[in-house]
C-alpha cells in the first residue's frame, strides 16, 4: 500500500521533470526499492519533497532501525532530486511525530560499545540533516520526544501544532539515559544552557506555546475543527501546507534562519560566553543534581558531562562524550531498572480483564474527605457524572472546595480555562442523601476505616442502587471479603485502594476477592484507567499488597527509632537508599494513627513476623495528639507556610520510654538500610509466593508508584534480581540471628537464592 502511494506520488511529477532529472526515471523502474519501503515515503509537491513517516505496526512512530534506514534512503533521493529545493518532514499519525528511539534497539545490545555505535549512527544521520543543502522543515503534530526531538532540532526549521497532544521533550533521563543523538550538543545552542539543562535533567514535556517561547520551534499552527474532513486529518494537512510555505519561504529567503538577536539575547549570550559563568552553572547544576539524586542516578551527571565536553572542548569531543556516555548509561542497572518500570507502567495501563459490559457513566463517592474528594477530582473531568456524598454540610463543602481548588490550580498552570473548570464542575453533584443513587453504575466508598461503619454503609447503599451497580471500597488494610460479608451481592464488591494525594499519586491498587466477578474487575480497571491511574490488580488479604509490604518496614523503622536513631537520621538513611520520602516523614504523611491502626490489624493477622518496633510507640504518639502532618505534629513539627520542619522535641522523651539497646553488629548505617528494605522486599516476594500478586511486574510497579520504593532499583523484584537473592538472604540470616522471625526469608526468596538462574525478570 505504502509502496503504491510512493509510485503514485512519482507519477504526479510532470513529464518535464522526468526529462530534467534522469535519476528519478531510473529509480522508478527499480520497483523492489519502493515496494520495500513501509515506514517512510515521500511525495514531491512542485519543488518541495514531503517526507511522511508512518510505522504501520504501531500507534506511534519510533526511530527503529527500519525507520532510520528508510529515512536515509529517502533523504538520499531527495538530495539527488534536482527538482526538489526543500523538504518537509511530517508524520501521518494524528497524535505522534516521533515518540522517541526504539528502546528495544538499545536493549538488544550487549555491550556499551554497541550502544555507543548506535548513538554515533544517529549522530551521523542527524548531522547530515543539519548540514543538508536543502532546508528541511519539521512539521510537528503530537508527541515529539527523545530521538524525535533530536531529529526535529537537527532540521533547519520547526512548525508545530498548538494541539494539546503536541509535546516536545527529552525524557531519556527518566530511563536512565541521555539524549544520545546530538541532543546534548544542539539543545544548549538552541535554548541556552540553563534551558537545555532544565529540559534534559527533568525530562519534562514542553507544550507547543512554551516551545515557541523557548525558541525550540519557529512557528505555531492552530488545530482545526470540523470541515470537509475529520479535524485530525485536516489539521495534519493544514500543518503540511503551512510547512510547505515555510520551506519555500526559506528557499526564497523570505524566512531568514538566523534571527536577529534581541538585547536580552545578546546579553545572555555574552554572559554565557564567559567561561567562569559556565563553570558556575555546571557546579550549581551538579550540586542540585547530587542533592536530589543522592548520587544514585548516573544519567543526570553524564548529561552535564556531555554538555560540558561540547561547550568547553568543541563539538568533536562533545559528540564523542555524548556517544560514549550513552553507551555507558545503557549498561547501568539504574537504566535497566528505569526501563523496566517504563515497560511495567505501559503494561499496567492496559485492561487485561477486557471491556466491561456497561461503561461507568455515573459514579457515586461516599465520604467527601481527602480521599473521597480526591477521587472525585480525578473522575469529574473524565466525562463521568460524579456524585459526592457526605453526612455533614461542613464535610461536603470542604470536599467540594478541594475539587474546585484542584481544578482551579490547573487554570493557574494554564492546563485548562476557567470555562472548562466550570463546565467540568457541572458534572459534580454534592449531596447529603442517597437521591440519584438509583442511576449509579459504581459506588466508591471512602468512609472511615472501621469494619462496622463499612458494613452499615454497604447495607444502606445496596438498598438504593440498581442491580448492576458495583460497590468499590477504598480501604488500605481491611480485607475486602470481610467488608463484602455484609453484601447481598459479593460478586459486585471490589476494593479500590487509592493513594493520597489522589490527584498526584499515580497508583491504584485494585483488590478482588474470590467472589468478585471478572466483569466487576474489568469495570473497576476501566474506571481507574480513565482516571489516569497505573493499575495493579491483586488478591485479597490483610493489607493486600502495598500496605502489607509497608507495614513490616514501618515496624522496623519504629524499632530503629527506639534504638536511638533520630527521625532526621532515619529519613536520611531511607532517602539515601533511594526512597523519595524518608520513613519518618512517610509515617507522618500517612498519619501516625493510620500507621498504628494498620500495624495493629496486620500484627493480629500475621502474628509475630510483623513485630519489630513496639506498636505502643505509635499509640502513645496518637494519644498525645502527634498524628502526623494533619495534626501539625508527628515525628516532626509542621508549621503552616513553612517548608522546613524540625524534629518534634517531645518525641525524644517518648522514645526514651521505649528505648531499646541496639546490637552493634546489625546497626551500621548500611545494616539499618538493609533491615528496612529487606523486610519490605521479603514481604513483597511472599505476596508473589502466596498469589496475592499476579506477577513481579505489578509488584515492582505497585512498590515504586504507590510506596516510593527506589525507582533506581526498579522495584523489589528487580532489586532481588540485581542485588542477588543469595546476598539478600545472607544479610537477612544475619539479622534473623538478632531479631528472630521478623527476618526469616520466605520460601520463594530462598529458592531464588539457591538457584542463581532463577530471576523474576527475564
Partner 1 sequence: MKWGQPLSLTLLVFSTTLAKPGVKNIVLVEGVRTPFLLSGTTYADLMPHDLARAALQGLLHKTSLPKDAVDYIIYGTVIQEVKTSNVAREASLGAGFSDKIPSHTVTMACISSNVAMTTGVGLITAGQCDTIVAGGVEFMSDVPIRHSRKMRKTMLALNRAKTLGQRLSLIGSIRMAHLTPELPAVAEFSTAETMGHSADRLAAAFGVTRLEQDEFALRSHTLAKQAQDAGLLSDVISFKVPGRDTVAKDNGIRPSSMEQLAKLKPAFIKPHGTVTAANSSFLTDGASAVLIMSEEKALAMGYKPKAYLRDFVFVSQDPKDQLLLGPAYGTPKVLARAGLTMDDIDVFEFHEAFAGQIMANLKALDSDWFAQTYMGRKVKVGAPAMEKFNLWGGSLSLGHPFGATGCRLVTTVAHRLLKEGGQYGLVAACAAGGQGHAMVIEAYPQ
Residues catalogued as catalytic:
509
Rounded to the nearest angstrom, the gap between the alpha carbon of residue 242 and the centroid of all alpha carbons in its chain is 34
Stretch that binds partner 1, among 177-185, 225-233, 523-531, 637-645 (CB under 8 A): 225-233
Q: Closest separation between CB of residue 156 and partner 1, Å?
A: 17
Report residue 475 as a C-alpha cell.
480501604
Helix (H) or strand (E) holding 376: helix 370-380
Residue with cell 517526507: 51
User: Residue 466 in contact with residue 440, Cβ under 8 Å?
Assistant: yes
Q: How far apart are CA 740 and CA 585, in angstroms?
A: 27
Phi-psi region of 663 (alpha: psi -120 to 50; beta: other; left: phi over 0): beta
3-class secondary structure, 198: helix
Stretch that binds partner 1, among 8-16, 85-93, 221-229, 363-371 (CB under 8 A): 221-229
Report the residue number, 73 or 420, with the smaller CB distance to partner 1.
420
Report residue 552 as a C-alpha cell.
513490616
CA dihedral 601, 605, 608, 613 (to 10 degrees): -20
Per CB under 8 A, the list member of 2, 224, 309, 384 interacting with partner 1 is 224
222 contacts partner 1 (rule: CB under 8 A): yes
Q: Closest separation between CB of residue 422 and partner 1, Å?
A: 9
3-class secondary structure, 203: coil
Q: Closest separation between CB of residue 508 and partner 1, Å?
A: 32
CA angle 43–48–53, rounded 5-degree value = 45
3-class secondary structure, 277: helix
Residues forming beta bridges with residue 53, ordered by sequence position = 40, 91
3-state secondary structure 348-374: CCCCCCCCCCCCCCEEEEECCCHHHHH
Report the residue number, 230 or 670, with the smaller CB distance to partner 1.
230
- Residues with Cβ within 8 Å of 136's Cβ and at least 6 positions away in sequence, in order, are 86, 87, 88, 89, 129, 155, 156, 157, 247
Stretch that binds partner 1, among 32-40, 237-245, 595-603, 646-654 (CB under 8 A): 237-245
Stretch that binds partner 1, among 53-61, 163-171, 226-234, 732-740 (CB under 8 A): 226-234
Helices and strands of the chain, counted as H and E runs: 34, 22
- Checking DSSP bridges between strand 167-169 and strand 206-207, what pairing results, if any? antiparallel
User: Residue 98 in contact with residue 147, Cβ under 8 Å?
Assistant: yes
What string marks each residue from 569 to 598 as x (binds partner 1 by CB under 8 A) or -? ------------------------------
670 contacts partner 1 (rule: CB under 8 A): no
Site size with partner 1, rule: CB under 8 A: 17
Q: Closest separation between CB of residue 419 and partner 1, Å?
A: 4
- Residues with Cβ within 8 Å of 431's Cβ and at least 6 positions away in sequence, in order, are 387, 388, 389, 396
Residue 709's φ and ψ, nearest 5 degrees, are: -55, 140
Q: How far apart are CA 303 and CA 521, in angstroms?
A: 43
Residue with cell 460497590: 471
What string marks each residue from 174 to 213 as x (binds partner 1 by CB under 8 A) or -? ----------------------------------------
Report the residue number, 240 or 700, with the smaller CB distance to partner 1.
240
Q: How far apart are CA 597 and CA 449, in angstroms?
A: 9
Q: Closest separation between CB of residue 757 and partner 1, Å?
A: 58
By the 10 Å C-beta count (0-12 exposed, 13-18 middle, 19+ buried), 105 is classed as: middle
Q: Closest separation between CB of residue 606 and partner 1, Å?
A: 56
Stretch that binds partner 1, among 228-236, 297-305, 393-401, 436-444 (CB under 8 A): 228-236
Per CB under 8 A, the list member of 117, 165, 234, 328 interacting with partner 1 is 234
Report the residue number, 234 or 530, with the smaller CB distance to partner 1.
234
229 contacts partner 1 (rule: CB under 8 A): yes
Stretch that binds partner 1, among 5-13, 215-223, 370-378, 680-688 (CB under 8 A): 215-223
Q: Closest separation between CB of residue 165 and partner 1, Å?
A: 16
Stretch that binds partner 1, among 78-86, 178-186, 206-214, 220-228 (CB under 8 A): 220-228
226 contacts partner 1 (rule: CB under 8 A): yes
217 contacts partner 1 (rule: CB under 8 A): no
326 contacts partner 1 (rule: CB under 8 A): no
Per CB under 8 A, the list member of 14, 280, 284, 417 interacting with partner 1 is 417
Instruction: Report how far apart the first and last C-alpha atoms of the chain are (Å, whole number).
Output: 37
3-state secondary structure 11-52: HCCCHHHHHHCHHHHHHHHCHHHHHCCCCEEEEEECCEEEEE
225 contacts partner 1 (rule: CB under 8 A): yes
Per CB under 8 A, the list member of 202, 219, 722, 744 interacting with partner 1 is 219
Report the residue number, 65 or 257, with the smaller CB distance to partner 1.
257
Report the residue number, 421 or 454, with the smaller CB distance to partner 1.
421
238 contacts partner 1 (rule: CB under 8 A): yes
759 contacts partner 1 (rule: CB under 8 A): no
CA angle 741–742–747, rounded 5-degree value = 70
Report the residue number, 245 or 429, with the smaller CB distance to partner 1.
245
Helix (H) or strand (E) holding 223: none
User: Residue 178 in contact with residue 200, Cβ under 8 Å?
Assistant: yes
Q: Closest separation between CB of residue 242 and partner 1, Å?
A: 5
Of 240-259, binders to partner 1 (CB under 8 A) are 242, 245
Q: Is the dihedral of CA 606, 608, 612, 615 positive or negative?
A: positive
Q: Closest separation between CB of residue 97 and partner 1, Å?
A: 19
Rounded to the nearest angstrom, the gap between the alpha carbon of residue 600 and the centroid of all alpha carbons in its chain is 33
Q: Closest separation between CB of residue 90 and partner 1, Å?
A: 15
Report the residue number, 228 or 264, with the smaller CB distance to partner 1.
228
295 contacts partner 1 (rule: CB under 8 A): no
Stretch that binds partner 1, among 231-239, 305-313, 576-584, 637-645 (CB under 8 A): 231-239
Per CB under 8 A, the list member of 194, 231, 315, 695 interacting with partner 1 is 231
Report the residue number, 17 or 158, with the smaller CB distance to partner 1.
158
What length does the chain have? 762
Report residue 729 as a C-alpha cell.
538472604
Per CB under 8 A, the list member of 221, 247, 428, 602 interacting with partner 1 is 221
Report the residue number, 229 or 266, with the smaller CB distance to partner 1.
229
Stretch that binds partner 1, among 18-26, 47-55, 219-227, 625-633 (CB under 8 A): 219-227
Name the nearest CA neighbour of 622 among 659, 630, 560.
630
419 contacts partner 1 (rule: CB under 8 A): yes
408 contacts partner 1 (rule: CB under 8 A): no
Per CB under 8 A, the list member of 227, 314, 383, 625 interacting with partner 1 is 227
Residues forming beta bridges with residue 43, ordered by sequence position = 50
User: Residue 89 in contact with residue 51, Cβ under 8 Å?
Assistant: yes
Q: Closest separation between CB of residue 259 and partner 1, Å?
A: 14
Report the residue number, 90 or 98, with the smaller CB distance to partner 1.
90
DSSP 260: P
- Residues with Cβ within 8 Å of 159's Cβ and at least 6 positions away in sequence, in order, are 137, 138, 139, 140, 217, 218, 219, 220, 221, 239, 242, 243, 246
Report the residue number, 224 or 732, with the smaller CB distance to partner 1.
224
Q: Closest separation between CB of residue 147 and partner 1, Å?
A: 28
Q: How far apart are CA 259 and CA 266, in angstroms?
A: 12
Report the residue number, 198 or 233, with the smaller CB distance to partner 1.
233
Q: Closest separation between CB of residue 586 and partner 1, Å?
A: 42
Instruction: Provide the binding-site residues for partner 1, judged by CB under 8 A.
Output: 219, 221-222, 224-231, 234, 238, 242, 245, 417, 419
Amino acid at each position: 500500500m505504502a509502496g503504491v502511494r510512493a509510485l503514485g506520488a512519482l507519477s504526479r511529477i510532470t513529464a518535464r521533470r522526468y526529462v530534467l532529472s534522469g535519476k528519478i526515471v531510473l529509480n522508478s523502474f527499480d520497483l523492489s526499492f519502493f515496494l520495500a519501503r513501509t515506514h517512510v515515503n515521500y511525495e514531491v509537491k512542485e519543488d518541495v519533497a514531503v517526507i511522511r513517516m508512518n510505522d504501520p505496526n504501531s500507534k506511534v512512530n519510533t526511530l527503529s532501525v527500519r525507520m532510520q534506514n528508510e529515512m536515509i534512503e529517502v533523504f538520499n533521493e531527495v538530495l539527488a532530486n534536482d527538482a526538489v529545493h526543500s523538504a518537509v518532514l511530517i508524520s501521518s499519525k494524528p497524535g505522534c511525530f516521533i515518540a522517541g528511539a526504539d528502546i528495544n534497539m538499545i536493549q538488544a545490545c550487549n555491550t556499551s560499545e554497541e550502544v555507543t555505535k548506535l548513538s554515533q549512527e544517529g549522530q551521523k544521520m542527524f548531522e547530515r540533516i543539519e548540514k543538508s543543502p536543502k532546508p528541511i522543515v519539521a512539521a510537528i503534530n503530537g508527541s515529539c520526544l527523545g530521538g524525535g526531538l533530536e531529529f526535529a532540532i537537527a532540521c533547519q526549521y520547526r512548525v508545530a501544532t498548538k494541539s494539546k497532544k503536541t509535546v516536545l521533550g527529552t525524557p531519556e533521563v527518566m530511563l536512565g539515559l541521555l539524549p544520545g543523538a546530538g541532543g546534548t550538543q544542539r539543545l544548549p545552542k538552541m535554548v541556552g544552557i540553563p534551558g537545555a539543562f532544565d529540559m534534559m535533567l527533568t525530562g519534562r514535556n514542553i507544550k507547543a506555546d512554551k516551545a515557541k517561547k523557548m525558541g525550540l520551534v519557529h512557528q505555531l499552527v492552530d488545530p482545526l475543527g470540523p470541515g470537509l474532513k475529520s479535524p485530525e486529518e485536516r489539521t495534519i494537512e493544514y500543518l503540511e501546507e503551512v510547512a510547505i510555505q515555510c520551506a519555500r519561504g526559506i528557499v526564497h529567503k523570505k524566512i531568514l534562519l538566523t534571527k536577529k538577536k534581541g538585547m536580552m539575547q545578546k546579553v545572555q549570550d555574552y554572559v554565557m560566553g564567559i567561561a567562569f559563568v559556565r563553570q558556575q552553572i555546571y557546579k550549581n547544576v551538579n550540586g542540585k543534581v547530587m542533592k536530589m539524586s543522592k548520587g544514585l542516578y548516573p544519567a543526570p551527571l553524564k548529561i552535564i558531562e556531555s554538555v560540558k565536553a561540547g561547550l568547553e572542548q568543541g563539538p568533536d569531543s562533545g559528540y564523542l562524550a555524548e556517544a560514549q556516555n550513552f553507551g555507558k548509561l545503557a549498561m547501568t542497572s539504574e537504566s535497566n531498572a528505569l526501563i523496566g518500570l517504563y515497560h511495567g507502567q505501559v503494561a499496567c495501563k492496559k485492561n487485561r480483564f477486557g471491556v466491561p459490559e456497561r461503561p461507568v457513566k455515573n459514579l457515586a463517592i461516599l465520604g467527601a474527605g481527602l480521599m473521597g474528594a480526591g477521587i472525585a477530582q480525578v473522575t469529574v473531568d473524565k466525562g463521568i457524572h460524579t456524585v459526592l456524598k457526605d453526612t455533614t454540610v461542613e464535610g461536603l463543602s470542604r470536599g467540594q472546595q478541594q475539587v474546585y481548588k484542584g481544578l482551579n490550580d490547573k487554570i493557574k498552570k494554564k492546563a485548562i480555562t476557567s470555562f472548562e473548570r466550570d463546565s467540568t464542575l457541572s458534572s459534580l453533584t454534592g449531596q447529603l442523601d442517597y437521591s440519584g443513587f438509583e442511576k449509579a453504575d459504581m459506588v466508591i466508598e471512602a468512609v472511615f476505616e472501621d469494619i462496622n461503619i463499612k458494613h452499615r454503609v454497604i447495607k444502606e447503599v445496596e438498598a438504593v442502587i440498581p442491580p448492576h451497580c458495583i460497590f468499590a471500597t477504598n480501604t488500605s488494610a481491611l480485607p475486602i471479603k470481610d467488608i463484602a460479608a455484609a453484601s447481598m451481592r459479593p460478586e459486585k464488591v471490589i476494593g479500590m485502594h487509592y493513594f493520597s494525594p489522589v490527584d498526584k499519586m499515580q497508583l491504584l491498587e485494585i483488590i478482588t476477592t474470590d467472589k468478585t466477578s471478572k466483569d466487576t474487575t474489568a469495570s473497576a480497571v476501566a474506571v481507574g484507567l480513565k482516571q489516569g491511574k497505573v493499575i495493579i490488580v491483586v488478591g485479597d488479604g490483610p493489607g493486600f499488597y502495598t500496605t502489607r509490604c509497608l507495614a513490616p518496614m514501618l515496624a522496623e523503622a519504629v524499632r530503629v527509632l527506639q534504638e536511638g536513631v533520630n527521625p532526621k537520621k532515619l529519613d536520611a538513611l531511607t532517602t539515601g537508599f533511594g526512597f523519595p520520602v524518608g520513613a519518618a516523614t512517610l509515617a507522618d504523611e500517612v498519619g501516625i494513627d493510620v500507621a498504628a491502626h494498620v500495624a495493629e490489624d496486620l500484627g493480629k493477622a500475621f502474628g509475630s513476623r510483623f513485630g519489630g518496633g513496639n506498636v505502643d510507640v505509635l499509640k502513645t504518639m496518637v494519644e498525645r495528639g502527634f498524628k502526623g502532618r494533619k495534626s501539625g505534629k508527628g515525628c516532626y513539627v509542621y508549621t503552616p507556610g513553612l517548608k522546613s520542619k524540625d524534629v518534634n522535641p517531645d518525641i525524644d522523651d517518648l522514645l526514651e520510654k521505649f528505648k531499646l539497646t541496639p546490637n552493634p553488629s546489625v546497626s551500621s548505617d548500611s545494616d539499618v538500610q538493609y533491615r528496612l528494605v529487606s523486610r519490605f522486599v521479603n514481604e513483597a516476594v511472599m505476596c508473589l509466593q502466596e498469589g496475592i500478586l499476579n506477577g513481579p511486574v505489578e509488584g515492582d510497579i505497585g512498590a515504586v508508584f504507590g510506596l516510593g520504593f527506589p525507582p533506581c532499583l526498579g522495584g523489589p523484584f528487580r532489586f532481588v534480581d540485581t542485588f542477588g537473592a543469595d546476598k539478600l538472604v545472607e544479610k537477612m540470616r544475619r539479622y534473623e540471628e538478632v531479631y528472630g522471625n521478623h527476618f526469616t526469608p520466605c520460601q520463594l526468596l530462598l529458592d531464588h537464592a539457591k538457584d542463581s538462574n532463577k530471576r523474576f525478570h527475564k
